[in-house]
């Protein structure tokens, strides 16, 4: 076992209540010193696996550890402080009436000091080039803008690991480049990253390890 | 399995659920519960799913039974602590009555869901209810489960933003709830806009009179079901009054 292992999955199986789809006996380790890509056909279970790793879905059997702790002992809020998860549909994780408030409110609720909140929120908005939108109503933004607002909302937590479900789908070429460079910077600071994506160019450029979902619910490791 | 007309199902459900609400006697209530279960079975309602929905409510039996035992000085004491009657026969009865009532309502609702919404609308229209209102009702019924699903998802996503709910003040909890509703309302409005647009493109209310390809006809079994509904409605009302 790698000393940098952050998320460990052992013999995990999963099935949805009313569906044929299943994941069977999956074992894998996700490390903090990698930017890992998770690829596979539509419907192969990438989003499902991502949701299992963040505790949204509960596996039928097997074990999952995040930072050496059994996922069953953590509640979703605690997981959210360790692992940032970007939904495939960013609208699902936007809550407040302005972009600034949306990015900052979890910090407020968790009792971070006002100065630190202001600092962290403003710098993340600037970095993602959405500081000009900070007073806007998030639900009326474009898809690519929403995606970056949602991303800001999870990056502001400064988590040790990130799972991003198709973060590049709505981004233009420049914004993809921007995202890639941001992820590289976070990676150099010690954040582990898993990117679920179909974007081969992006993966080839930024990811050092590629996991591939196969039909019948298996998974293989393919180095680029 | 017989296919009943949505109108006769509706009549049965109205009869049984109003009995469920106003009957006071435990034995009569149990009989109505059994009748509604039998009818659900006959019409092909999903009883298991209905019961699963009630699962959380079953815990309420105990709460209601204990509260009724403490504050309602009737019945024989079954169990007491420091002279406080924690469980009396009357309290236990109230708890069971509550759960039987809920069972009757949920189970009869599963009977309704065995008709498609199109059949239900047509049923209401043929009962002389204006099409617009019938459509609205069925749309509302469709929307409700979607809404609860959405609120659940939204809550999960909110917690995953790193919000730990333990040990926070009431003020913050209320704030969190307001955050929960914003995406749900925004999502619902969007869906409603889409529905409105598609209704428009399909010419909803473009002409005064609507013709329908689907015309419902009562069959023999429908007349039996309606007669049966009337009989149990009258009998149980009579028995309920007599036992008072
Ligand atoms: N809530 C659910 N209930 C039942 N089945 C589901 C549910 N969500 C997804 N599935 C099924 O699970 C399978 C995997 O879905 P998943 O969303 O994980 O695929 P994916 O690899 O992320 O696809 P994509 O590339 O399109 O995002 C699909 O066959 C889907 O139909
Ligand atoms: Mg997906």
- DSSP reduced 3-state for B151: helix
Is the pLDDT at A224 greater than 60, yes or no? no
| Alpha helices for chain B (secondary structure H) | 6-22, 26-43, 47-71, 89-112, 117-126, 131-160, 170-201, 220-243
Question: Which residue in the set A56, A77, A96 is minimally distant from B162, CB to CB?
Answer: A77
In A, which residues are within 8 Å of B165 by CB distance? 75, 77
Rounded Cα gap, residues A133 and A125, in angstroms? 9
Number of CB atoms found within 10 A of residue B7's CB: 21
Rounded Cα gap, residues A167 and A164, in angstroms? 6
Residues near A57 by beta carbon (within 8 Å), at least 6 away in sequence: A14, A48, A51
Rounded Cα gap, residues A211 and A196, in angstroms? 9
Rounded Cα gap, residues A220 and A198, in angstroms? 16
Q: Which residues pair with A85 in a beta bridge?
A: A163
Higher pLDDT, A143 or B206: A143
Q: How far is A153 from chain B (nearest CA, A)?
A: 7
pTM of the model: 0.73
- Which whole number is the average pLDDT over B170-174? 87
Rounded Cα gap, residues A147 and A197, in angstroms? 14
- Which whole number is the average pLDDT over A154-166? 94
Rounded Cα gap, residues B60 and B99, in angstroms? 8
Check: CB of residue B38 under 8 Å from CB of residue B16.
no
Check: CB of residue A155 under 8 Å from CB of residue A107.
no
Q: For ligand 1, say whether the CB of A47 is within 6 Å of any of its atoms.
A: yes
pLDDT, tens only, A188-222: 999 999 999 999 999 999 999 999 998 766 788 77
Identify the contact set of chain B against chain A, taking CB-CB distances under 8 A: 153-154, 156-166, 168, 172, 175-176, 179-180, 182-183, 186-187
Q: For ligand 1, say whether the CB of A120 is within 6 Å of any of its atoms.
A: no
Is the pLDDT at A156 greater than 60, yes or no? yes
DSSP code for B163: -
Q: What pLDDT does A184 receive?
A: 93
Q: What pLDDT does B183 receive?
A: 84
Q: What pLDDT does A3 receive?
A: 64
Widest pairwise Cα distance in chain A: 51
Question: Which residue in the set A78, A80, A91 is minimally distant from B161, CB to CB?
Answer: A80
- Closest alpha carbon to A34 in A213, A221, A210: A210
In B, which residues are within 8 Å of A96 by CB distance? 179, 182
pLDDT, tens only, B54-81: 777 777 777 887 787 777 777 777 777 7
- Which whole number is the average pLDDT over A28-42? 92
Question: Which residue in the set A78, A79, A93 is minimally distant from B157, CB to CB?
Answer: A93
Residues 134-173 of A with CB under 8 A from B: 139, 153-154, 157, 159
Six-digit token pair at B169? 């003040």
Range of weakest confidence among A109-123, B25-39, B135-149:
B135-149
Q: Which residues pair with A220 in a beta bridge?
A: A212
- DSSP reduced 3-state for A36: strand
The strand pair at A192-196 and A35-39 is best described as parallel
Rounded Cα gap, residues B221 and B234, in angstroms? 20
Distances (CA, A) of B156 to A52, A85, A182, B146, B184: 13, 12, 27, 16, 13
Question: Which residue in the set A87, A106, A139 is minimally distant from B162, CB to CB?
Answer: A106
Distances (CA, A) of B152 to A80, A138, B145, B166, B180: 17, 21, 11, 18, 9
Q: How far is B170 from chain A (nearest CA, A)?
A: 11
Query: Which atom from ligand 1 is nearest to the alpha carbon of A166?
Result: 27
Number of CB atoms found within 10 A of residue B2's CB: 12
Check: CB of residue B91 under 8 Å from CB of residue B69.
yes
Six-digit token pair at A162? 């990130």
The residue with tokens 């596979």 is A40
Confidence category of residue B1, pLDDT binned at 50, 70, 90: very low
Q: What pLDDT does B164 receive?
A: 86
Q: What pLDDT does B93 receive?
A: 82
**Which of A92, A95, A152 to probe the B interface (max B CBs under 10 A)?**
A95
Residues 93-122 of A with CB under 8 A from B: 93-97, 105-106, 109-110
Q: For ligand 1, say whether the CB of A21 is within 6 Å of any of its atoms.
A: yes
Range(s) of the domain holding residue A137:
5-223
Q: How far is the CA of A88 from the centre of ligand 2 (A)?
A: 6
- Atom 18 (ligand 1): residue with closest C-alpha? A45
- Which whole number is the average pLDDT over A128-150? 92
The strand pair at A35-39 and A61-66 is best described as unpaired
In A, which residues are within 8 Å of B180 by CB distance? 95
- Atom 16 (ligand 1): residue with closest C-alpha? A45
DSSP string, B51-86: HHHHHHHHHHHHHHHHHHHHH---S-EEEEETTEEE
Q: What pLDDT does A73 receive?
A: 94
Q: Give the total residue count for chain A.
A: 224
Q: What is the mean pLDDT of chain B?
A: 83
In terms of Cβ atoms closer than 10 Å to its own Cβ (0-12, 13-18, 19+), residue B220 is exposed
Name the domain count of chain A. Answer: 1
CATH code: domain of residue A17:
3.40.50.300
pLDDT, tens only, A38-76: 999 998 999 999 999 999 999 999 999 999 999 999 999
Q: How far is B228 from chain A (nearest CA, A)?
A: 36
Range of weakest confidence among A145-154, A199-208, B32-41, B145-154:
B145-154
- Closest alpha carbon to A92 in B222, B184, B22: B184
Q: What pLDDT does B244 receive?
A: 65
In terms of Cβ atoms closer than 10 Å to its own Cβ (0-12, 13-18, 19+), residue B24 is exposed
Q: For ligand 1, say whether the CB of A45 is within 6 Å of any of its atoms.
A: yes
Check: CB of residue A43 under 8 Å from CB of residue A23.
no
Q: What is the mean pLDDT of chain A?
A: 91
Q: What pLDDT does B71 receive?
A: 75
């Amino acid at each position: 076992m790698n000393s940098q292992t952050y998320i460990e999955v052992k013999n995990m199986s999963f099935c949805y209540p009313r569906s044929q789809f299943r994941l069977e006996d999956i074992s894998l380790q996700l490390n903090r010193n990698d930017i890992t890509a998770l690829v596979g056909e539509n419907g192969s279970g990438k989003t499902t696996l991502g949701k299992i790793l963040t505790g949204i879905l509960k596996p039928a059997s097997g074990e999952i550890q995040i930072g050496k702790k059994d996922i069953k002992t953590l509640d979703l809020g605690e997981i959210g402080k360790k692992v940032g998860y970007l939904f495939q549909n960013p609208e699902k994780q936007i809550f407040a009436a302005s972009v600034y408030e949306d990015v900052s409110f979890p910090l407020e609720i968790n009792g971070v000091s006002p100065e630190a909140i202001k600092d962290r929120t403003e710098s993340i908005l600037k970095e993602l080039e959405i500081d000009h939108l900070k007073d806007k109503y998030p639900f009326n933004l474009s898809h690519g803008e929403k995606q970056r607002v949602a991303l800001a909302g999870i990056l502001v937590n400064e988590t040790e690991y990130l799972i991003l479900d198709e973060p590049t789908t709505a981004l233009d070429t420049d914004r993809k480049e921007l995202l890639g460079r941001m992820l590289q910077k976070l990676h150099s600071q010690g954040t582990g990253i898993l990117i679920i994506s179909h974007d081969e160019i992006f993966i080839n450029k930024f990811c050092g390890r590629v996991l591939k979902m196969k039909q019948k619910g298996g998974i293989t490791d393919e180095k680029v | 399995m017989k296919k009943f007309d949505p109108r006769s199902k509706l009549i049965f459900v109205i009869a049984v659920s109003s009995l469920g609400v106003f009957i006071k006697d435990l034995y009569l209530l149990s009989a109505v519960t059994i009748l509604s279960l039998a009818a659900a079975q006959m019409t092909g309602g999903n009883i298991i799913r209905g019961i699963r929905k009630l699962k959380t409510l079953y815990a309420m039996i105990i709460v209601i039974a204990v509260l009724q035992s403490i504050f309602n000085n009737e019945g024989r004491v079954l169990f007491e602590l420091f002279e406080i009657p924690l469980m009396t026969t009357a309290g236990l009865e109230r708890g069971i009555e509550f759960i039987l009532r809920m069972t009757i309502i949920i189970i009869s609702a599963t009977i309704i869901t065995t008709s498609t919404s199109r059949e239900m609308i047509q049923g209401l229209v043929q009962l002389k209810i204006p099409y617009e209102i019938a459509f609205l009702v069925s749309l509302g019924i469709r929307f409700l489960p979607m809404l609860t699903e959405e609120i659940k998802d939204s809550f999960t996503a909110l917690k995953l933003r790193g919000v730990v709910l333990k040990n926070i003040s009431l003020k913050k909890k209320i704030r969190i709830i307001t955050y929960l509703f914003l995406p749900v309302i925004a999502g619902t409005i969007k869906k409603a806009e889409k529905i409105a647009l598609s209704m428009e493109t399909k010419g909803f209310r473009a002409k005064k009179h609507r013709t329908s390809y689907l015309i419902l006809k009562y069959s023999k079994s429908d007349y039996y079901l309606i007669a049966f509904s009337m009989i149990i409605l009258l009998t149980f009302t009579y028995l309920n009054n007599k036992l008072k």
